């Protein structure tokens, strides 16, 4: 159907459906099932959430409107009160015919375009002829006119055919638009599910890598018969895993929760590095409730430990800062390690994850609304800066 003809109908349907501002944004960091529930709640508040009821309401209102317009037009042209009788009969006839047409159209709408429009034109012509025949017969019988029936039939045919054609166009336009809306909602759901699966995959890459390093350290302590440190490290490891596994793999946590998780991780690493690892935190109180992807900072700190603390005999300081800049949450992990030479980049972690993993997770979660920057500090040191939308709940900006 021509886009210009559909445009006003689409505008009308949108007005009866859900305002654009009321539609939920499908946040990939949100649980897909919860996102689906929210979208369903909003759709249920629209006029077309019950299509059967919406059809009967529009069908009845439309034909009552046609009855009122034809009656007022007749009275304005000096017709007697008895003129309303054939108009009422004509309206009932049109109402009944369009009910039959709706059943036929429902079976035609999914056919090939050529079949749909050819059979629709045939149904429209037959219905218009039957409608005009009844109108002409009623008018001739009730008004007692001597006019030729053929003339009455032809005069009624143009009016009735126009009325039924407009009804048919509106029927198809509304149904096609509703189908487009349903397909768009289904596509949003599929995109959210695909993004959630991607985020879960990226998040799950972190745990095996961390476990590999930690279990390797515990194994070393056991071989050295240092059972007390090994037992302490196992206790911290179980606390860390219990804390992280309690969160959804694709979900968000508050920054305060993320920092607590990070401190659990650092407690484990301090068993290995002792005084060589010197972590510091500078988190503004106003951003403690900001939402961030879970385990977004741990790989950054792990990277700093590997390339700043491990190579230096006296270790290094690692500073984690969090501030707010306008509508952005700024997270930064800085170390006092050897930094990088010009043109050098930090390699990935031993199992192939690290900075690239974080970059991919942010791109999946926030798209162009995020930024990820790394820089080498003159005189020694390395810094990673993340900028995310500042939010205080799962899908709304603060």
Please report, in tens digits, the pLDDT of each residue of the chain (398 residues total). Answer: 444 444 544 454 444 444 443 444 444 444 444 444 544 544 445 677 777 888 888 899 989 988 888 888 878 877 777 778 888 998 999 999 999 999 999 999 888 989 999 999 999 999 999 999 988 888 877 766 566 778 888 888 888 899 999 999 999 998 888 888 888 877 776 666 565 555 555 455 555 656 777 788 788 888 888 888 888 888 888 877 776 666 555 568 899 988 988 898 898 888 778 899 999 999 998 999 999 988 788 888 888 888 899 888 899 999 999 999 999 999 999 999 887 654 555 554 433 456 777 887 788 778 889 999 998 888 888 999 999 999 986 545 55
Burial environment of residue 137 by CB neighbours within 10 A (0 to 12, 13 to 18, 19 or more): middle
Q: What angle do CA 373, 376, 382 make, to 5 degrees?
A: 85
Task: Annotate 192-214 with b (16+ C-beta within 10 A) or e (fewer).
Answer: bbebbebbeebbebbbebbeebb
Q: Helix, strand, or coil here: 221? A: helix
Domain ranges of the chain: 3-196, 235-397
Which of the following CATH numbers is that of domain 235-397: 3.30.565.10, 1.10.10.10, 1.10.150.120, 3.30.230.70?
A: 3.30.565.10
CB of 37 closer than 8 Å to CB of 205: no
Strand order in the sheet with 316-325: 277-283, 316-325, 328-335, 382-389, 371-376
Identify the pLDDT of residue 145.
59
How many CB atoms are located within 10 Å of the residue 110 CB?
Answer: 9
- How far is 196 from 34, CA to CA, in rounded Å? 12
> Which two tokens mark 261?
């998780």
**Which DSSP letter does residue 342 get?**
T
Spell out the alpha helix ranges (H) of the chain. 3-16, 32-44, 51-76, 84-108, 113-143, 149-204, 206-223, 227-245, 255-273, 298-304, 355-366
CB of 351 closer than 8 Å to CB of 212: yes
């Amino acid at each position: 159907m021509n886009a210009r003809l559909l445009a006003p109908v689409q505008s009308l349907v949108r007005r009866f459906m859900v305002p654009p501002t009321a539609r939920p944004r499908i946040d990939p960091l949100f649980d897909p099932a919860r996102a689906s529930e929210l979208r369903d709640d909003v759709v249920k508040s629209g006029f077309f959430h019950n299509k059967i009821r919406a059809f009967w309401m529009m069908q009845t209102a439309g034909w009552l409107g046609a009855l009122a317009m034809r009656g007022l037009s007749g009275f304005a042209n000096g017709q007697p009160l008895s003129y309303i009788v054939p108009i009422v009969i004509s309206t009932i006839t049109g109402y009944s015919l369009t009910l039959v047409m709706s059943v036929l159209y429902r079976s035609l709408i999914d056919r090939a375009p050529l079949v749909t429009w050819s059979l629709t034109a045939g149904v429209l012509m037959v219905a218009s002829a039957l409608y005009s025949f009844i109108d002409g017969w009623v008018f001739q019988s009730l008004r007692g006119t001597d006019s030729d029936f053929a003339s009455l039939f032809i005069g009624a045919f143009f009016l009735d055919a126009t009325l039924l054609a407009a009804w048919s166009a509106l029927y198809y336009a509304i149904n096609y638009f509703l189908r487009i809306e349903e397909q768009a909602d289904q596509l949003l759901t599929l995109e959210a599910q695909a993004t959630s699966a991607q985020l879960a995959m990226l998040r799950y890459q972190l745990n095996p890598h961390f476990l590999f390093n930690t279990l390797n350290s515990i194994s070393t302590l056991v071989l050295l018969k240092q059972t007390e440190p090994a037992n302490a490290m196992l206790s911290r490891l179980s606390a860390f895993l219990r804390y992280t596994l309690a969160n959804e793999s694709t979900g968000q946590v508050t920054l305060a929760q993320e920092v607590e998780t990070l401190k659990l991780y650092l407690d484990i690493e301090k068993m290995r590095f002792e005084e060589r690892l010197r972590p510091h935190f500078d988190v503004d109180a106003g951003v403690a409730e900001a939402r961030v992807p879970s385990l977004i900072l741990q790989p950054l700190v792990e990277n700093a430990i590997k390339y700043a603390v491990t190579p230096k005999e006296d270790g290094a300081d690692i500073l984690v800062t969090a501030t707010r800049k306008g509508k952005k949450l700024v997270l930064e992990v800085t170390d006092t390690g050897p930094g990088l030479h010009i043109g050098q980049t930090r390699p990935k972690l031993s199992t192939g994850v690290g900075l690239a993993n974080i970059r991919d997770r942010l791109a999946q979660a926030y798209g162009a609304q995020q930024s990820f920057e790394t820089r080498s500090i003159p005189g020694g040191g390395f810094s990673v800066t993340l900028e995310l939308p500042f939010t205080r709940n799962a899908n709304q900006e603060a």
